[in-house]
Structure 1
Amino acid sequence: MRAPANRPRRRRLRAVLDAERPIGLLSSLKLELGVIITLATAIAFVMAWFLLKFDWSGWIAMPLTLIVALGITYGFSHGLISPLRQIRDAAEAMADGDYTVRVHTGTTSNDEVGQLVRSFNEMAEELQHADQQRRDMIANVSHELRTPVSALQAMVENMADGVVDPTPANLESILSQTRRLTDLITFLLDSSRMEAGAASLQIERFNFAEFIDETVEPLEIADGGHAHTITVQVDGDIEMEGDENRLRQLFTNIIANALKHSADGTDVLIEAHENLDFGTVVTNVVNFGSQIPVEARSDIFRRFVKGKTGPGTESGGTGLGLSIARWAAQLHGGSVRVVDDDRGTNFEITLPKYHIAAEDAHSPRTSRGAADA
C-alpha cells in the first residue's frame, strides 16, 4: 500500500502550513522581486561603505558584502516561494488520494502567488467534494442494487428447491422486484446522461391538459389500494412546446413523489396556469398535510437523498427521482422548486411555453422570467 510511505511527507507538509511569508502585501510578484533586489543592494552598499570607512581591505569587504546580500535575497525569496513548495507537496498528496490537504501560507497575500494559493485550495475543495460524492454514489448504488437482487435470488431459489410454489402472487412479487431493478437502471442511465450533459430533446407542440391526463392515468392505476385522489386543474387550453418524453419523466417523478409521501385516502392536487408576462407554464403539485422544512428543500434535489414517509422512516425509493426531474426541467430552460404553502408540500414547476434555443437560454429576459415566475 502507498499510504504508509506518504505519511512522513504529509506530516512535513502540515508542519509548515502555519508559516507566514515575510512579504506579500504588494499586488505583483515583479514588484516584490524588485523590492527584494533593491533592499539587498542597498544593505550591501551601506555595509561596504562602513567596512571601507573603517579601513577594511577591499578583498575582505566585498566578498563579505556579497555573502550578506545573497543571504538577505535567499531569506526573502525562501518565504516568497514557500507557498509554491507547499502546493507541490499538496499536489503530490492529492495524487495519492488525500484530498484533505490545503495550503495555508500565502492565502492573505495579494500577489499572483496568493491568487494561485486561493485557486488551488478552491480546486482541492471541489475535488474533495467530488470524491465524496463518488464514494457515496458507489455505496448507494451497491445498496440499491443489492436489495432487489437479494430478494429475487431468495424467491427463485425457494421456487427451484420446491419450498414455495410459483403462484401468481409469488410471480407478481418477482415481477415487482424486476421492475424495481429496471427503474433503478433507468434512473442511473439518466443520471449519467445528466452528469455528461448528453441529452437531446425532440421538440414538438402538444396540448398540456391532455399531456397531464396521460401522465396521471398510469400513476392512478399503479397507486393501487392507497385510495389517493388526484385532482387536475388546468386553466385554459394551453399549447406548449417541449420533449414529451422528458417532460413526462419530469411530471411522473414529481407526482409519484407526492403520492409516495401522502397518507392513504388523501388528495394530491395538480394546478396549472399560463404566466402571460413571462411566457411560461406554471404547474403546482400539492400533497396535503406533509411539509418539507425550508433548510431541507435544496437537499431533496440531490442524488440519493431520500425523503421520509414517517418519523425515522425512509421512502424506500432510489433517491434519484427529484434530481432527474430538476435536470429534465433545466433541459427545457425551466425550474423545479418547493414553495411555501399552508396546505402541504407544494412543488412548483416552471417551464417556458415555447422552446428556448440553447444560445438564447441565458438571455436577460429569459433568466429574469424564470426567476420571477
Structure 2
Amino acid sequence: MSIHSLTAKLLLVSVIVGLTGTAILAVLAATVTAGEFGDFMFRYRRSGLAELLADHYATNGTWEGLPREFSNRSLAGPSPRALGKAPFLSFLLVDNTGSVVVSGQGYQVGELVPEEGLSDGISIEVEGESVGELYLQSGAFDVGPAEQIFLRRVNFALAVGAIGGTAAAVVLGMVLARSLTKPLRELTAGARAVAAGELDTQVPVRSSDELGELAEAFNQMNADLATARDRRRQLTADVAHELRTPLSVILGHTEGIRDGVLEASAENLAIIHEEAQRLERLVEDLRILSLVESGELSLELGEYDPMALVEKTAASYRALAREKEIDLEVVSDGRELPTVRIDMDRMGQVLGNLVSNAVRHTPEGGSVILAAHAWTGGVEIQIKDSGAGIDPEDLPHIFERFYRADKSRQRDGAGSGLGLAIAKSLTEAHGGTIGAESQLGQGTTISLRIPKVA
C-alpha cells in the first residue's frame, strides 16, 4: 500500500481521529476519576473524624481534654479505628454554643464563631443530640500510599485502554479504508480496461451511495460507448455495402465499354448516370445526417402555416402517385392550425421522404393520406398508407440508419436507406417528435409533431 494512496490517507485520518479522541477521553477520565476519588476520600475521612469525636464526647461527656488527645492523631484509613496512617491538617471544632473547642481556620479556642462565618460543617451527634459542629476544608487530608496506588492503577488502566483503543482504531480504519476504496480501485481497473479498448467492461455496484451511483454511471457510459462503437462499425459496413452496388454497376459498364463488350449507347450511359446519382444521394444524405447529429446544421427558421407545407408536399408527389394509380389525398379537420416555426425546405425534405416511402410501398390501387390537425402543443401531421404494413419486430428500428425491414418494406433501390433516419433527426432538430404505427396487412401511419410558436 503506497503512502500516497487514498487508502493510506484514510487510514492516517482514522488513526489521528482515534488517537485524538482516545487521548481526550483518557485525560477527562483521569481528571474526573481523581477529582471524584478525592471528594469521596474527603467525605469518608471527615465522617471518620466526626465518629471519633462523637466517641470521645460519648465517653467523656465533655469536650475537655480533646486538643491534647488529638494533637498527634492521624486521620487516613479505611475506618475510624484505623485513622492513623497519614497526618491530617488542622480542623475546627465548635460546641453547641458556638464556642471553638479545637482551633482552626483562623479561630482560637474559646472564641465564638458567628453563624454566618462558616459553612459546610458536619454535625456531631451523641444519642440523637447535636453536641458540636466539625468544619474541615476540602483537601485537608494528604493522599496516603494506598490512595496513590489506587490512582496509579486507574491511570494505568486508562493508558492500556487508550493504547487498545488506538490499536482498534488502526485495525478498523484499515478495514474501513480498504472497503471504501475498493469500488474506486475497481473503477480504476475498469477505466484502464476501457482505455485499452475493452468497452464491454462493467464494474460491480456495491452500494446505493455516491460510489454506487458513480459505478452505475461508469457502467452506463461503457454501455453507451459500446453501443456507439457497434453503430459505427455497423454504419461503416452499411455504407460499404451501399457503395458497393452502384460502384460495381458503374465499373462493370465502364469496363465493358472500354473492352468493347458493351456499346457506349445512351441506354448504358443512362445506367451509369443513374448509379452515379444514387451515389451522390447517398453521400449527401450522410452529410446531412452527420450535420444534424453534430448540431452543425444551420436551419433557416420562419413562421409558417403547416397546411401550406402539407399541400406543397402533396402537390410534389401527386404525379408519382398517379403513375402507380395511388390516390394521394390531403385531409384536415377544418380547424385553423397554429403557426409553426420551421425551416420550410428541411421540413419539406422530411415530409417528402415520408410521402415517397408511403407511395413506394403502397400497391397499385391503394391510397396515401396526408392529415394535419392541431394538438395541445402544436401540429400533428400524419402520413397513412394502405400498404402491407411493418412487422412488429422491425417497427422499433425503422428510423435507424440503413435498417432493413424485411419483405414488404425492403428498400427497392430507389433510396439511400437513410430517409427515415434523416426525417427523425430533422424533426427532432425542430423540437418535434416522430413515431410510427403499423399492422401487417393494414398499412402504416407515420406521425410527426411540431411545436407551435410560443
Instruction: Answer yes or no: same fold by TM over 0.5.
Output: yes
Counterpart residue type for residue 203 of structure 1 = L
Aligned position for 2:430: 332
Matches of 1:109 and 1:269, distance apart in 2? 55
CA distance change for structure 1 residues 35 and 192 in 2, over 3 Å: closer, same or farther?
Answer: farther
Residues 287, 35 of structure 1: CA spacing in aligned structure 2 closer, same or farther, 3 A cutoff?
farther
Match of 1:73 among 173, 198, 214: 173
How far apart are residue 188 of structure 1 and its match? Answer: 0.4
CA–CA separation in structure 2 for the residues paired with 1:35 and 1:61: 15
Whole-angstrom distance in 1 between the partners of 2:448 and 2:356: 14
Partner of 1:18: none
Segments of structure 1 that go 5 or more residues without pairing to the other structure are 1-29, 46-52, 357-373
Q: Deviations over 1:313-363 (max 9, x none)?
A: 5544433211211222223332221136784211122234x445xxxxxxx
Q: Report if the CA contact (8 A) 2:14-2:169 is conserved.
A: no
Measured in 1, the distance between the counterparts of 2:188 and 2:384 equals 53
TM-superposed CA distance for 1:160, in Å, is 1.7
Match of 2:192 among 73, 77, 92: 92
Shift of 1:282: 2.8
Q: Higher relative CO (CA 8 A, sep ≥ 6), structure 1 or 2?
A: 1
Q: Which amino acid aligns with 1:138?
A: T
Separation in 2, partners of 1:34, 1:221: 82
Moved more, 128-137 or 233-242: 233-242
Aligned to 2:202: 102
Residue 91 of structure 1, CA deviation: 0.6
Q: Is the 8 A contact 2:187 2:203 kept in 1?
A: yes
How do 1:164-313 residues align onto structure 2 when only pairs under 5 Å count? 164-205=262-303, 208=306, 211-221=309-319, 227-235=324-332, 236=334, 240-241=339-340, 242-263=342-363, 265-275=364-374, 278=376, 280-310=378-408
* Residues 143-174 of structure 1: CA deviation (Å, up to 9, x unaligned): 21222122211111111222111222212211
CA distance in 2, matches of 1:224, 1:162: 40
Quote the Cα distance in structure 1 between the aligned partners of 2:223 and 2:230.
11
Identity of aligned residues (%): 28
Alignment-mate amino acid for residue 266 of structure 2 = P
2:390 touches 2:408 (CA, 8 Å); kept in 1?
no
Give the CA deviation at 1:71. Answer: 3.9
Structure 2: which amino acid aligns with 1:303?
R
How far does the alpha carbon of each residue in 1:207-258 deviate from its partner, in whole angstroms, 9 at most, with x for none?
Answer: 6555445434554556796x24142224358685432211111011111211
For 1:272, the aligned partner's letter is: A
Measured in 1, the distance between the counterparts of 2:433 and 2:423 equals 9
RMSD: 4.0
In the TM superposition, what is the alpha-carbon distance from 1:295 to its structure 2 partner?
Answer: 4.9
The answer as to whether partners of 1:308 and 1:315 remain within 8 angstroms in 2 is no
Gaps of 5+ in 2: 1-9, 26-152
TM-score under structure 1 length normalisation: 0.70
Aligned to 2:136: none
Q: What whole-Å deviation, never above 9, does each CA across 1:90-126 have from its counterpart, x for those lacking one?
A: 111101111111111xx14133322222221121111
Equivalent of residue 229 in structure 2, options 114, 124, 131: 131
2:367 corresponds to which letter in structure 1? Answer: V
Structure 1 contact 306–315 (Cα < 8 Å) conserved: no
Q: Find 1:150's aligned residue among 248, 266, 280.
A: 248
SS of match in other structure, 1:270? strand
Using the size of structure 2 for normalisation, the TM-score is: 0.58
Relative distance call for 1:198 and 1:230 in structure 2 (3 A) is: farther
Q: What is the alpha-carbon distance in structure 1 between the residues aligned to residue 266 and residue 224 of structure 2? A: 51
1:303 Cα deviation after fit? 1.9
Cα pair 1:309 1:315 within 8 Å, conserved = no
Q: Is the 8 A contact 1:219 1:256 kept in 2?
A: yes
1:254–1:192 CA distance, 2 compared to 1 (3 A): same
AA aligned to 2:262 is V
Q: Report if aligned partners of 1:229, 1:267 keep a CA contact under 8 Å in 2.
A: yes
Aligned-partner residue type, residue 175 of structure 2: G
